[in-house]
Structure 1
Amino acid sequence: MIGTWRWVFATDAHVWSAGLFRMLGLDPHRARAGHELFLGLVHPEDREGWASAGDLVLGRVPRLSTVRVVRPDGGLRVLSIAAEARLAPDGRPLGLSAILLDVTEPDGLTRLCREEEGRRQALYRTTLTTTFSLGLDLLHVFPAEVARVHGPTLAEISVDPFVMVVPEEREAFCARGWEAHDRGLPFQGLARERLANGEVWQFRILGVPAWDADGTYLGRTGLKHPVHGALPATGADRRLTRALEQAVQGYHLRAARGLLDWSMAMLAQASGLSVTTVRRLEENAEFQGARSRHSAVEALRRAGIRFIALDDGTIAVARR
């Protein structure tokens, strides 16, 4: 189970995801999210390991920590917390963003992670296709098989995946990729990469920003596959599809409605949303990761609309 926590220091506004409320055993309609509430649930022996509110507001945020929490029903959960301070351009702490993972049953979690990693490694070994991610620490996560196939170490690839690109294309491709990252745009491009056996293959690389339902930025997720190969279907592809859907903006939805000759009310009916929610989506007033965005995009897809990521980071809207 995963939860997120966003804290704006200036207003003392705390936003907890539904997953975090469930993790802590709290009713989101009755409990008010906040540091004191969380600290009160932390096991007394672990409270010294978690920062005080004063330290957090000053930007002294522990990046990684593990604490036990005692839920109101008496149940004990072990949470792994990855936190990061959000800073103003002049270095002033503005807020905190955290991702919390329930690791109460580490053996089961380890087994599931090992099985998933095995599937990803076999997929790359046989098809040269894989998903990858870029965390808030700007480190890329690839399966170990990528290093064995290409030659550089996994540590080198995690810091600079462009090391796999042939030298004559590396600098320009790297610049395009980081520009899309810095602007928060989807990225798509073709690059030739050298394998450890000396062969050179052309790959299509796709990367998109990812958000949770509460608007917290989670990093980026991506897909890499050879241009001449068939794209296999994997469970991870759904995560990438959702990240792509989050890049759809209000003007994309309006263009899609125009192609279908739909009103807002018709889109609302097809997607199970209210007209007010559709209007908020088209005005970009909803979080990028809002579930309503996925519902609207899915309804438009069922009606024949395609959202196509282009190489320059824009999204084209077409009708089949």
Structure 2
Amino acid sequence: MSQHPPVPHGAPRPADLAPRDFMRLIEAFGLTGAWRWDFISGRQVWSSGLYRLLGLPEGETASYERLHGLVHPADRDVLEDAAQIVHAGIIGSHTVRLIRPDGTARIVVSRGEVFFSPEGRPVAATGVLLDVTDRERLAELHRLEQQRRSSLAQQAQVFIHTEPSLPPTEYGSEFLALVGLRREEVRADWLAPIVPEERPRWRDELPRLAAAERPFSVTPTLRLAGGGAAPFRMMMVPFRDGPLREGLARDGPADPVSWTVVITPREGEADLPPEHPSHRVEPAVAGCHLRAARGLLDWTLNDLARESGVSLSTVRRLEEDSEGPASRSRPHVLEALRKAGIVFTLVEGGMVAVARAEGDVTPPGTRSG
């Protein structure tokens, strides 16, 4: 068994230095800092890392009021003020924005703890700030990307997602709603979104095209959740999961290929099924058109919910465009309006005209079934 060399008398042991060394290493990245406030003496201390995180020169008087003043004005009510900490002993965990003296902004998580005397009086507090700017910005970019994809799906029936391999099975929720399938159904049969008569063709052709590991597109006719079918184009673009190594020898196996899949409606009237003209206008019907149709019928939200068999909250979301063309409830609402005499027409420029048909219509409350 190995033995450590003896430590000279009076010399600090390695374990005595570890916490300080660890703190110094962590704070060297400029992403964290700590503070302590003794309420009895009034003394406040900031670590070197906190000065760097706040963008202040080390040696400036440590003050919780100074730290609180650097918080974005819109976030100051979130963070406890000095009186809440000293007199009430309140301090929590918060995520706030800081504005440094040079004008740069950082997002930090603030956590602290208050220490009490045996009588229950607050006597001191300590806290730590952790810079999470990169994490929060990445999360925001991800949120915006998801919002962009959702908007494309809802407004233009354009669907974008990534597949670890082909044939495709990992579609987004908007696409699954369009074709009226659950994820488990598609994973069990990747041809399920395609109309049955075309499945033999794409069963053979898509794997053959994918084997070349080059961009390609296919043009299947997809089944729709509301009934019928519509032609779409599916573009598949491969990319390597590992770093590019062009011109370098490959000693090992090639990096695996993933695929970006872009699904768009096929443009042109010749591609649309003539027996289903509503397939072109329905995706363009927005919440404002639903409200206009309801106004022409002098219906309330409750009337439309009752006639369509859809919940009131769902009807409200449809009219607010919170649910797009892929909504499972949307076809029922459109059908109820059509039965009541509403006609949606796609006019020049892609705009939707809403009109009430001539003749008798079904008043609310008389829907059969």
TM over 0.5: no
Q: TM-score range by the shorter chain?
A: 0.3 to 0.5
TM-score, with length taken from structure 1: 0.36
State which structure, 1 or 2, has the greater radius of gyration over its C-alpha atoms.
Answer: 2
